[in-house]
Structure 1
Amino acid sequence: MTVSAEFIPSGFRAPEGVRIYAIGDIHGCNDLLRDRLAAIEADLAARPGVEALRIFIGDYIDRGPDSRGVVETLIELGNRERCVFLCGNHEVLLLDFPQNPKLMPAWRSVGGLDTLASYGIASSPEPDPAEALQLANTFERVLPGSHRDFYCNLAISHAAGDLYFVHAGVRPGVALEAQSVADRTWIRHEFLNHEGLFEKLIIHGHTPATEPEIRPNRINIDTRAFSSGRLTCIWLEGDRFGFI
């Protein structure tokens, strides 16, 4: 079901002839992801005649029960539809972990053990350094090649018309083309507290909110799916946007 359309803030526009669907932080909730994908298909059937672009804002893994299933769903979708998959800070941790097992306490604290479990890797509640090394080696061995390719090929950001899609946000005062990878995947307060306009409207996740946050300079679509049961999907077309 499509919520009534509103004007995109500050006069920004999506590219002509394209309806963009952007989905917020999924965090291992494959059931919610499949539900949102079905809702997109229903919306396209009800409002046909445009090219659809599906953008995923990052943080596909950790905390929820089926990180592996989420990645399988996205790989299959990407093989048949036009999609952009962005990198979140949780994927940064996953990619770094096999080469740096010392990251285990940081990754564990944000749900990394749930991701390992989804790949069939059991662990103690608080792995010590020796177990962390073993887990890193096991994960490197059992990670399917298609999943490795998915994680390694994630985009850091995506610009479309007057819209800029990124996981965490951008640093004020720095041109979009000069933003660092670290800021685009990790930044919070400097970005969230900035009230001025950026070069484009920033569509992001990373910082969970009870409802999508709509500001003149940004829209936050992370609604904590793993605990709220609400995975947000925004559509943007021309000068309008809404939620499904």
Structure 2
Amino acid sequence: MITLRRETHAPPGGATVGRPVYAIGDIHGCYDLLHALLAEIGRDAAARDPDRPALLIFCGDYIDRGPESAKVLAALAWLVRSNSVDVRLLEGNHEAMLRLFLKQPIQHRQWLMRDGRFTLESYGIAVPSEPPSPAEMIELRDALLDHMPASHHQLLRQLELVVEYGDYAFVHAGIVPGVPIAKQERDDILWIRREFLDYAKPFEKIIVHGHSWLDDRPMMRDNRLGIDTGAYETGVLTAARISDDAVEVIQARREATLTQEAA
């Protein structure tokens, strides 16, 4: 059973140029939580601002670890085509690893054996428990290319690294302190952790990010908002409705065992 929880926080001092933003944390193949969360966001947006589409910004890591990566990508592809919402999709490090595997499967077999096997299995592709041979790696890559709909391939090619909106910047993992957003390196945006998380001074903009989590609570800081709550482990998928007046946390929750940070 999935329940919904909401709580309101004071805004960290930023403005969204008059239009609220719904930012969604790392999904990791948890389609059931995504479905429930999107339904709640739809109800909320329709009740508050029925005359214009809601703006949704997804912070990456749609695939791997959870059981239904294929259904998550299908839902996102449908949202992109829909006129009912405005959607911006950020690239996560897991989408980056998938794209590398599709290009060079032998060189990127580590992704498959660690987390990617769940994505392949969501498309109905059986992955052997033993490390595949180079020839088998190519066969698995080719099977994934065959099983993935064209809309999923297109979606992966159109992911963004940064979305700036008002006083906020949305990224997957974070940014390097002291470096302008426009000059950030792709790998840092996708992978950075402690150097960013431990930085307490203001950034160029308030950073909204995923990638790192501690438990089922978002990380609310003066300079950043972390909305990854480890959905594949905690059973909690988090969105934040960010407006000039408040940050409202919306969570879809199911029972799960909590573990510590992973991404």
TM-score bracket, shorter-length normalisation: over 0.9
Contact 1:224 1:231 in 2 (8 A): yes
Contact 1:19 1:50 in 2 (8 A): no
Contact 1:86 1:154 in 2 (8 A): yes
* Match in the other structure for 2:221: 215
* Match in the other structure for 1:118: 122
1:183 aligns with 2:182: no
Q: 1:145 to 1:49 in 2, by over 3 A?
A: closer
Counterpart amino acid of 2:65?
A: R
What is the count of residue pairs matched by the alignment? 241
* Match in the other structure for 1:58: 60
Gaps of 5+ in 2: 251-263
C-alpha RMSD over aligned residues = 1.5
Please identify which structure carries the higher helix content.
Answer: 1
- Cα displacement string for residues 140-189 of structure 1 (whole angstroms, at most 9, x for unaligned residues): 23321111000010011100000000000001111001111111111111
Tell me by how many angstroms 1:130 deviates. 2.9
1:136 aligns with 2:137: no
* Match in the other structure for 1:3: 6
1:232 aligns with 2:233: no
Gaps of 5+ in 1: none
1:154 aligns with 2:165: no
* Match in the other structure for 1:201: 206
Q: 1:217 to 1:54 in 2, by over 3 A?
A: same
TM-score by length of 1: 0.94
User: Counterpart of 1:172 in 2: which secondary structure?
Assistant: coil
* Whole-angstrom CA distance in 2 between matches of 1:25 and 1:203: 12
Runs of 4+ in 1 over 6 A off after TM superposition: none
TM-score by length of 2: 0.87
* Whole-angstrom CA distance in 2 between matches of 1:65 and 1:200: 35
Counterpart amino acid of 2:28?
A: H
- Cα displacement string for residues 104-152 of structure 1 (whole angstroms, at most 9, x for unaligned residues): 123421x200100111211112323332122112222332111100001
Counterpart amino acid of 1:152?
A: R
